Each structure stands twice: as structure tokens, then as C-alpha cells.
Amino acid sequence: MSIVEKAVEKLRNLQPGPPASPAAEAVPAPSASTIERLSGRTHTDQATESPPPWHVDLVALERAGLLPAGDEANDRLANELRRIKLPLMDNAIGKGAKVVPRAGRIVVTSAVPGEGKSFTAMNLALSLAREVDFDVLLVDGDIPKSHITRALGLDGKPGLMDVLVDERRQPAEVIVGTDVPNLLVVPVGRRHPLTTELFGSLRMEHVLEELGGRHLRRLVVFDSSPLLATPESQVLASHMGQVVMVVAAGRTGQHAVDSALQSLSEEQYVGLLLNMSCLPASENYYNTYYGLYPRVHLAGEA
Ligand SMILES: Nc1ncnc2c1ncn2[C@@H]1O[C@H](COP(=O)(O)OP(=O)(O)OP(=O)(O)O)[C@@H](O)[C@H]1O
Ligand SMILES: [Mg+2]
């Protein structure tokens, strides 16, 4: 038996049933994707069991402004994202400085429009999908704009709103597997005039549980509308354990950021991400990141 086969065998033997106790839950089991990677199983092998993976067109994403243009900007962003995602992953597996309830749910939001939420959500999800120990579910929670849904070519497909409205539908039905390893997507679906009420419903909590809240190895990343622009974004954020608050450098006033932070709960892990900070005129891309801090540091709380 080769080393890889032995490792696969070992991982298979470690696959648990439902966790017996909170202590058992704190030691996450290896994900199926780890086993598949080690055993050399590919998406092609799975094609007979489920629909073919959705093709993620990176060129279309770049055209839609959701990926950085050029290799240099790409490399720089990749490094910045590594720093951003570390505390988020630590919190998700209970290794952060404090216990964060529902830490597997991460929303990317901002105070006002145009600060870089969708760009950050997309790139964060792609970066997290490269992790060996996690899979990532990217949910388009910006119902009015649905930037991510459209950029991925998933407009018109059933999505989040459909499973909220129709209790007979299983949330798993609207999860789209993609050809980016470990990246799953949930599109917006059919828009509904009572989005805020649906987001605030018990059904929403159930849907979120089903989409990934019970799996320590799955991170669910939501794009959203700005906190100060729509009531539904605040309701959506209230379901999340972790909040990445994007702040456009030199554009968003302190007052707006403070008001947006006040709409969040003390229980949540809130990181502030300074985006679009200025670079010398010769460089034509944004610097995405200067720091993602626990809210207590930046907000000056004890
Ligand atoms: N770090 C970045 N590097 C390069 N371009 C960026 C960066 N952040 C944002 N952008 C660009 O800024 C524009 C606005 O970004 P994005 O659409 O992500 O903002 P948003 O907060 O989601 O906006 P909305 O509130 O309208 O949904 C886009 O064209 C995007 O490509
Ligand atoms: Mg957006």
C-alpha cells in the first residue's frame, strides 16, 4: 500500500458519525475533499453522481470587476488575503482568542455602497477554497444587485430566495458545485418583495444551518448589501458569527462606519478591512488591505 493509500485509509477510518459531545465536535474530522485530494479523485470522477460542475469563468469575473487585473495585483492580493483569512479560520475551528458562536458564517459588508464588498467576498472565497482543510460556500446575499450571481452567469437559477419562500425545497438543492475545487455557490434566485422579513424568519435560520452551519469544515461566505442602505443587510448580518467590514479608504466617513458597527452585536467577531487605499499614480490598481483587526482594537473598546 502506498503512503497516499495509507493516508487515505487512515482518514477514512477517522470519518465520524454525528459528534457525541461538544468536546468531540471541537476536533473537526477531515473533510471529504481532503480524502478526494489524497486519493487523486477529481471533479470528473464525480460527474456520474451529480450534475457537472459549473464553470467559473475567471475572465468574465475580471471583466465584472470581481478579480484583480494583472499578475502583480493578483499576487499582492493573494498575500493580503492570507492575512485576512487566518483569524477567520481560527475562529471557525474554535482556535481564536474568544469563542465566536456560528463562526463558520462570514458576511462581507460595508457601511455604504461601492466599498468593495463583492470584490472582497469573491476573492476571499477563492482564497479560502485553496485551503486544504475547508470547503467554501459563497452565497450571494446582495439580493437587489446580485453582482456575484450575474458575474458567474447564474442569473435565473434557483437560489437563496427560492428556498426561503418555498419550505418544501431542500436548501441543498440550490447549492451549485463549481469547477474551482472546494468552491460551492448559492445564487440569489428569484427576488421577493419581503426580503427583510424572509431574512428574519425561522426558516432563514434553518436554511443557514442546512447550508453549512453544522459543519466545522465548511465556511459560508456571504456577499451583502451595505448595512446603512438596506434593512435586510442588517438582518442578514445578525445571523453571522463573523463580519468583515470593508471600509473604502478616504471615502467612508467615521460617522458612517460607527453607525454601521453599532448595528452589529457584541457577540460577533468584526474585522475592519481598509480597502482602496491610495498608491502612487504609476500603479493602477488598488491596495486592498492594510489590516483586519478584531473590532475591539479599532473601535477602542476595552
Ligand atoms: N481591492 C480592490 N482592487 C481592485 N479593484 C477593486 C478593489 N476593491 C474594489 N474594487 C473595484 O471597485 C468597484 C466596486 O467594488 P465592488 O463592486 O466590490 O463594491 P461593492 O461594495 O460590492 O458595491 P455595491 O455596494 O454596489 O454592491 C469594482 O469595480 C471593483 O472592481
Ligand atoms: Mg456588491
Question: Side by side, which strands form the sheet with 218-224?
Answer: 176-177, 183-186, 135-141, 218-224, 105-110, 242-248, 269-275, 292-294
Residues 6+ apart with CB under 8 A from 201: 164
Residue 197: its pLDDT value, please?
Answer: 98
Residues framing ligand 1 (Cβ under 6 A): 65, 68, 110, 113-119, 142, 145, 147, 226, 275-276, 285-286, 288
Per-position DSSP letters for 68-89, written without gaps between them: -SSHHHHHHHHHHHHHHHHHHH
User: Given the CA of residue 110, which atom of ligand 1 is nearest to it?
Assistant: 21
Tell me the per-residue pLDDT of 278-295, one tens digit each, with 9 for 90 and over: 554 334 344 444 444 444
Domains and CATH numbers, the chain: 1-41 (no CATH), 54-298 (3.40.50.300)
User: Near ion ligand 2, which residues have CB within 5 Å?
Assistant: 117-118, 147
Residue nearest to atom 23 of ligand 1 (CA): 114
CA-CA distances (angstroms) from residue 3 to 8, 38, 39? Answer: 9, 10, 11
Q: Which amino acid is at 256?
A: A
CA of 175 to the centre of ligand 1 (A): 25
Tell me the per-residue pLDDT of 132-187, one tens digit each, with 9 for 90 and over: 999 999 999 999 999 999 999 999 999 999 999 999 999 999 999 999 999 999 99
Q: Which amino acid is at 262?
A: Q
What is the four-CA torsion angle of 275, 277, 280, 286, rounded to 10 degrees?
10
CA angle 79, 83, 86 (to 5 degrees): 130
pLDDT band at 74 (very low <50, low <70, confident <90, very high): confident
Its pTM stands at 0.81
* HEC profile of 210-241: HHHHCCCCEEEEEEECCCCCCHHHHHHHHCCC
Residues 6+ apart with CB under 8 A from 198: 161, 164, 165, 192, 204
User: Given the CA of residue 77, which atom of ligand 1 is nearest to it?
Assistant: 1
Q: Which of 66, 67, 119 to mutate to test the pocket of ligand 1 (most atoms within 8 A of CB)?
A: 119
Share of the chain above pLDDT 90, in %: 64
Per-position DSSP letters for 76-130, written without gaps between them: HHHHHHHHHHHHHHHHHTT-SSS--TTTTEEEEEESSTTSSHHHHHHHHHHHHHT
CB 231 within 8 A of CB 196: yes
